[in-house]
Amino acid sequence: MLVPKVRAVILMVEDQDRALAFYTEKLGMETKQDAEMWPGSRWLEVAAPGAETWIALTAAQDFGTQPGQGSGGFTMAVDNVRQLYEELKAKGVDVEEPKEERWSTYLRFTDPDGHQIMVSERVTEGE
């Protein structure tokens, strides 16, 4: 049986409000869920508009870990990496200049909790 899709990426963060502001204000994502997980603990999900995969911004202390631990980096896709680069720079994100490879053009940046995020340009099938 093949896994049909990725449901979520879980990121351990220090400050959920700071992480929420970064992902919504800088990356344009939407809040999908913001609720109590158990007394004194918050479950927070964000996603790109229309996306099936969401990101849980989980308080690291609720799981006995440190921000940036217990989860890996991930890659997102856009139609125009250079345009995204300019938009992120204008919003004050410390983003690397786009790099061109045979397989795609991509850029990288790090969120406030040290998660490295790569964004690559979508490649049309057959290219």
Residues, the chain, total? 127
pLDDT at position 111 over 60:
yes
Catalogue all structural domains in the chain, each as residue range(s) with its CATH number.
8-121 (3.10.180.10)
Cβ atoms within 10 Å, residue 71: 19
How confident is the model over 30-44, as pLDDT tens digits? 999 999 988 999 999
Give the integer Cα–Cα distance in Å for 119 and 107. Answer: 5
Residues 6+ apart with CB under 8 A from 2: none
- Separation of alpha carbons 49 and 99, rounded Å: 26
What predicted TM-score, i.e. pTM, was given to this entire model? 0.82
Per-residue confidence band for 99, with pLDDT thresholds at 50, 70 and 90: very high
CB of 66 closer than 8 Å to CB of 110:
no
- The arithmetic mean of pLDDT across residues 22-37, rounded, is 96
* C-alpha–C-alpha distance, residues 68 and 13, integer Å: 6
